Structure 1
Amino acid sequence: MALGLAVLTASGLLALAAPGDAHAAPSNCSGRKVRSLSFSTGAVHVYKQQRGWICAVTLAKNPGRERWMSVSVQARGQRPATVDGKDTHRMGPVRVHAGHRSVKVKGRVGSGAVSTGWIRF
């Protein structure tokens, strides 16, 4: 009984310490950040993961009001992986397996956007 109470108390404290908003973390991408693509209304953060995976997420510069957002990553020779919709802070992540191929990265927050040519990491 005491052990159960201790576990419940600890889990309650962890829940209070954890952010209540899923958008509090800057990214759901793991790995090494290889590029930040800034633009007028936000930024796209690009991460290189193990075994040739590339992950990207778009973050709003001024979070708070809902706007159209998107993030897209395309490995050369493949279709782009895209996530878009309305949000207040973040869109993504998207992941593609690029191997040793070049990728294109795009992001949008409201009227601002960024798009790369073919880049390698």
Structure 2
Amino acid sequence: MDSGAIRRRLAVGLAVLTASGLIAVAAPTQAQAADATRCEGRKVRTYPFPTGTLYVYRKQGHVCAIVLPRRPGREQTMTVSVQAYRAMRVTDEGQYTRRAGPVTVHAGQRCVWVKGRVGSGSVSKGWILC
């Protein structure tokens, strides 16, 4: 093999190595961006209702809620809210096609009240996770 062929093979190998390194660096960033639209933690409650489902998650004293419609794709009014006992309610309300939320509160060991609405259907749970 002549020196020109060796250089070409080294250049191709270096290019492949550089590209794989860039992909490895970019992949976690894309995964974090996708996770920002979902709640972190362990799913602790699921509340189905006629037009959707309310999901409640908990992680290290934080409670997060998200509402998914039964029929995603068309724009409709959706609301999700979480309120820790003796604290302000956090709400996400608007015209969405796929989900409302996530909304997160720091509850510590306090009870929380969660509500969800999709179109004309809704669910409201009393003080939970006490």
TM norm structure 2: 0.74
Q: What pairs up with 1:59-70 in 2 under 5 angstroms? A: 59-70=68-79
User: Equivalent of 1:96, from 99, 105, 113?
Assistant: 105
Bigger helix share = 2
Separation of aligned partners in 1, 2:21 and 2:93? 39
The superposition leaves residues 28-71 of structure 1 with CA deviations (integer Å, 9 ceiling, x where unpaired) of: 11111000011000011000111x11001000111011000010
1:4 deviation in Å? Answer: 4.2
| Match of residue 88 from structure 2 | 79
Which consecutive unaligned segments of at least 5 residues does structure 1 have? none
SS in 2 for 1:37: strand
Normalising by structure 1, we get a TM-score of: 0.80
Structure whose CA Rg is larger? 2
Superposition deviation, residue 120 in structure 1: 1.7
Residue 48 (str. 1) matches residue 55 (str. 2): no
- Paired residue type of 1:37: Y
- The alignment of Structure 1 onto Structure 2 pairs a total of residues equal to 109
- Give the letter aligned to residue 120 of structure 1: L
Shift of 1:119: 1.1
CA–CA distance in structure 1, aligned partners of residues 101 and 53 of structure 2? 12
Partner of 2:121: 112
Output the aligned Cα RMSD.
2.2
Alpha-carbon distance change, 5 to 97 in structure 1, aligned in 2, over 3 angstroms: closer
Q: Secondary structure at the match of 1:74?
A: strand
